[in-house]
Structure 1
Amino acid sequence: MKAEQDSGGPSELLAEAVRSGDPDRIAAVATRHIWPLFNTAYPALLAAITPLPGGTVGRHPVLQLVHPLAPVFARSTRPFTVHSLNRYRRVGYEESLILTMQMIGSRMSGDIGAALGYAQQLVARLRTEGPFDVPAADDPSWFFRHQIGTTHLMAGQTVAALREFGTARQIGEVIGSADAVRSAAGRAALTHAVRGAVDDAQRALDTATALPLPGPAYADAALGTERTAAALIDIARMRPERDRSVALLEALDTADVVWPFVMYARASHALADGRAGDALDAIAMSTVSHDVRAGTFASDAATALRITAHLALGEVNAARRALEAATVHGTLTRTAEIRLALHEADPVRAHARQAALTAAELSPAQWAEVTLLAAWRESLAGDVSDELAHRTADLAANPGNRRAFTGVPVTVVDAVRDRLPESARSAFTARLDGLPLGAPSTPRPRLTPREYQVLRALIDHDNRADMAAALGVSTNTVKTQLRSLYRKLGATSKDEALMSAARLALLPRGR
């Protein structure tokens, strides 16, 4: 950005503009000095731009990004146009700052793909800087790296996110910015927690919270990030205080950048406690409040959590519909697809889906889940191998994997325990003590004699009138009986009902 004018620093210039009462002058000064004002005079910046007329703010796109109503702008019928920021190249803005604003604006509009594109351009730009250019105390380089990492995190690219947060933290340490170090350490803690590297998450969180609360521009984001990381850690370890940690999280419709991870925490917590309906509510409230696009962490997590929740409720067909509705299958969804195959008592398909996942794709949490699903698959075949039983016991030894065990039937845990040597069984049992393990998989619904008759009629006839004639009842009675049958089978159509009946061996022999 251009050098400060002789008449005073950014704060003084903004104060003079505010005293003038001229909205255009206020907006011009705020725009020209956006970084120093944001970084060191955030309350004064907000106080100056919040009362500005909408038309004035609309003519200054950079002010839309920092305005308190920015989330409302992003969700409006006229979302933020990042191309409008190109104008600042003509007035001396640094290229890196423009790219960062375009990246943030794309994220706010829900376009994580575009944000990744700007992130790549920004990384390339930052690489052109000299290797020994030591940043000044007010240099925004850490902020650029922090925002690049946040973009990768929202895209589900956790390894890349950790790299950028690490760089942001190192820059913060060099320039002596506690704001930078705490902000970056907190986001790193959240990233580790999402990955299931719980011990690493706790260390990063401890580093962050040991520092002073960041300045006004960063405090809310830092606290929201840290609380979400803490909740995910407590959920993973199934700590008694997890209820309190989840209660401290932002609302599901929050406009904060952490919203996908708040959804993930709340839904995971509900599933671990056996409240699948609450998990579905959390997912619905989050996704209806935000622009969720394919290829993002939010989309992948929402699909996987929906599948898992429907399966926990015995709604296998609803789980399959959730899978089929997803246009892009991330690793969370692909792992949930293995779970779906197991609920459908299809170990061959489960094995094929598991084989398609490579170790390099899986985070520690996903690796643990895939291992437990493999034990489930082998238990369906009648036996769990010694090697897999020992791997499962090793998982149980890590407290960070406790939640993962709540997602498998108790019969799987029993099968693993029976395969372990006598000397290892007591320790395995003790480590899982108190966990709400899942019910036996794929319960077979109990149909009444009349519902069996309706099922047979459903096979032989294409409409309710023919079914009513065959059964000797009215079409309204058939409608009521079909509703009861579909509910027990977790179906919404004839095809789904027959598929469920075949999977559960409820069809008459020879059908």
Structure 2
Amino acid sequence: MGHVDVGVYVVLAGREAEQVSRWASQLNQEPSEACAALRAAVEVESVETLQGVVARHLWTLRDQCFEELTDAIQRVPGRELDDAPLLKLLHPMTPVIAASSAPFDTNTLASVDAPSAVARDTLVALQTIAAQWSGDMRASATHAEELRRRIYEESVPERAQRGSNLWFLHYCLASTLVLTGDTAAGARELATSRVVARKSGSTQGERSSLARLALVDVLRGSVREAGAALRAARELAPYEGAYTLEGAGTEAVAEVLIALERGEAVDLRQLDAVEPTAFTWPFFTLARARCALLGGQPAQAVEAVRATVAAHRVQDGTLAADILAAIYIDAFLGLGNERAAARAGLVVREPGPTAKTAHARLALARGDVDAAARLIEELSGEAWACPAREHEITCLLAWESAARGAVGAGVARRFAALADTPTARRILASTPAWVVQAVAQALPALARDDFEARITGLVFAEIGRSTVHLTASEQRVFDALSQHERVADLASALFLSPNTIKTHLSSLYRKLGVSSRREAIAARRTLVREEIGADLAEPRRAG
């Protein structure tokens, strides 16, 4: 899906300038007229009348008269809201109830009479949001497809008006695309939403679009762009009305995630006042978990996910499921419990790029280098291409090379280059310390000194320190070592030549960090004890 040329909505073929002028005049009068109609409907004390007025002025009331609209809806007795689905949709308690206990049935809105194309557009956009409240991203995607069709295939001249709802349509479409995992298309729609909002004179729309764009950019690893979007948002007028809660929370979470990518100190208290919404909660959880992991507190990351899962419905194949599975895997790896990490990874049947990256780290930590290589190849596909993925692949390739016993010069240079990338500090720090040491040894002396100077202050992961990554042949020699003292005896027992045994022993000793058969046998006993201990450690149930 490409960008929309905003000019398409400005060129009104066959329309007279007088008609365009009349639309603009009507728009300037509409907020006061909409509010007057709302007040009259409240005085009538008829829920049916009130819903009819709200439907007729839906966009204007939500966009410019939000407080008065909310007050009017809150006057409606709760038992009568079920007969007024539009009013129920706009009630401030509905998102909370939909997320925690009773999902909002968006199908009930089919009975609402939207008397204009603008009202129908707005209603479909709100349906995408309502489905997100309930965690039903499949329903949200269905409504978003209808919204996409309306935007790109239906001509609605009123969308050319200053203050129209067009930016909001792109904004809602973008949000569903992001939450269903298509962050690239979502970012494009948010960029379009921002442009349309600016051209139509909606400061609130422009700031809201920039804030969400900052979140998506930082998730994709475009950290500089995310920072620029956040700064541009904060140069605009403060949020008002319907955009206040969502906007402030989005910007706070984006600021934390940007700082974490840059390796900067973060005070999580700035998130204490944030009330996560249907769009922001996966990012909110990611921020808290990443902070815990970088701070060496993986147990806190696990608890952050557990608290989130208890409060939200999570569907497989969504951005939220992808993020939560990755956090679980990385947190249990940080706790040294590979079995729990593996079980956590199985919770998601359709892992996205974030979870698949965590799966690759798990495979490497467990010594399954070939499985990790296959996952790295999958991650390299164009469908998931973005800066974050490229940085993560570089780190995984360095780990894979170190696990195989030899870091190539090209891989070492690519990895060392990340140290020159200020926005890749978090990803760089996720690499095990022993891998970083192996990379440093593979660099020329001058490059090594420069690399070590640039990574000063970074605390690298302790993943896989007790795991020795051996080939199948090396493992056979390792297992037989305690039973045969001489090379000739090993060769005879394993049906290999003495020279082959010597080659395997040389590689084995290097990977173990030992220099003799006696030291290798002692190291094997230690590794066996650690493996048995991990098997006996039964984690709390994930999810």
TM-score range, shorter chain: 0.7 to 0.9
Residue 188 of structure 1: aligned partner = 213
In structure 2, the CA distance between the partners of 1:238 and 1:97, relative to structure 1 (3 Å rule), is: same
Equivalent position to 2:91, from 50, 55, 67: 67
* Alpha-carbon distance between aligned partners in 2 of 1:275 and 1:386, rounded to the nearest angstrom: 34
In structure 2, the CA distance between the partners of 1:274 and 1:362, relative to structure 1 (3 Å rule), is: farther
Deviation at 1:271, TM superposition (A): 0.7
Task: Check the 8 A contact 1:386/1:419 in 2, yes or no.
Answer: yes
Residue 30 of structure 1: aligned partner = 54
Please state if 1:309 is matched with 2:331: yes
Structure 2 matches for 1:241-280, cutoff 5 A? 242=266, 244=267, 246-249=268-271, 254-280=276-302
Task: Check the 8 A contact 1:486/1:492 in 2, yes or no.
Answer: no
Deviation at 1:255, TM superposition (A): 3.9
* Alpha-carbon distance between aligned partners in 1 of 2:209 and 2:30, rounded to the nearest angstrom: 34
* Alpha-carbon distance between aligned partners in 2 of 1:130 and 1:369, rounded to the nearest angstrom: 43
* Alpha-carbon distance between aligned partners in 2 of 1:40 and 1:102, rounded to the nearest angstrom: 20
* Alpha-carbon distance between aligned partners in 1 of 2:445 and 2:30, rounded to the nearest angstrom: 81
Structure 2 matches for 1:405-420, cutoff 5 A? 405-420=428-443
Deviation at 1:290, TM superposition (A): 0.1
Residue 491 of structure 2: aligned partner = none
Once structures 1 and 2 are overlaid, which stretch shifts more, 195-204 or 128-137? 128-137
- The CA deviation string for residues 208-255 of structure 1, in whole angstroms up to 9 with x for no partner, is 111111221112211111111111000111112x1x2x3222679834
Task: Check the 8 A contact 1:224/1:250 in 2, yes or no.
Answer: no
Residue 455 of structure 1: aligned partner = none
* Partner amino acid, structure 1, of 2:33: G
Residue 123 of structure 1: aligned partner = 148
* Alpha-carbon distance between aligned partners in 1 of 2:438 and 2:180, rounded to the nearest angstrom: 37
Please state if 1:344 is matched with 2:370: no
Residue 16 of structure 1: aligned partner = 40
Task: Check the 8 A contact 2:262/2:424 in 1, yes or no.
Answer: yes
* Alpha-carbon distance between aligned partners in 2 of 1:221 and 1:252, rounded to the nearest angstrom: 9
Equivalent position to 1:138, from 163, 186, 208: 163
- Answer 1 or 2: higher relative contact order, Cα 8 Å, separation at least 6: 2
Please state if 1:203 is matched with 2:248: no
Deviation at 1:427, TM superposition (A): 2.6
Deviation at 1:129, TM superposition (A): 4.2
**Structure 1 portions without partners, runs of 5+:** 446-483, 494-511
SS of residue paired to 2:160:
coil
Please state if 1:42 is matched with 2:66: yes
Residue 193 of structure 2: aligned partner = 168
Please state if 1:58 is matched with 2:103: no
Task: Check the 8 A contact 2:31/2:65 in 1, yes or no.
Answer: no
Please state if 1:179 is matched with 2:204: yes
Once structures 1 and 2 are overlaid, which stretch shifts more, 344-353 or 425-434? 425-434
* Alpha-carbon distance between aligned partners in 2 of 1:436 and 1:375, rounded to the nearest angstrom: 17
Deviation at 1:322, TM superposition (A): 0.8
Residue 439 of structure 1: aligned partner = 462
**Structure 2 portions without partners, runs of 5+:** 1-22, 469-528, 539-543
Residue 238 of structure 2: aligned partner = 213
* Partner amino acid, structure 2, of 1:99: V
* Partner amino acid, structure 1, of 2:67: P
Number of aligned residues? 451
- The CA deviation string for residues 22-47 of structure 1, in whole angstroms up to 9 with x for no partner, is 55544443343222111111111111
In structure 2, the CA distance between the partners of 1:48 and 1:134, relative to structure 1 (3 Å rule), is: closer
Deviation at 1:91, TM superposition (A): 4.6
Return the TM-score normalized by structure 1.
0.82
* Alpha-carbon distance between aligned partners in 2 of 1:208 and 1:77, rounded to the nearest angstrom: 34
Once structures 1 and 2 are overlaid, which stretch shifts more, 25-34 or 270-279? 25-34
Residue 428 of structure 1: aligned partner = 451
In structure 2, the CA distance between the partners of 1:96 and 1:321, relative to structure 1 (3 Å rule), is: same
* Alpha-carbon distance between aligned partners in 2 of 1:408 and 1:274, rounded to the nearest angstrom: 13
Task: Check the 8 A contact 2:326/2:354 in 1, yes or no.
Answer: yes
In structure 2, the CA distance between the partners of 1:68 and 1:486, relative to structure 1 (3 Å rule), is: farther
SS of residue paired to 1:248:
helix
Two-structure CA RMSD over aligned residues (Å): 2.7
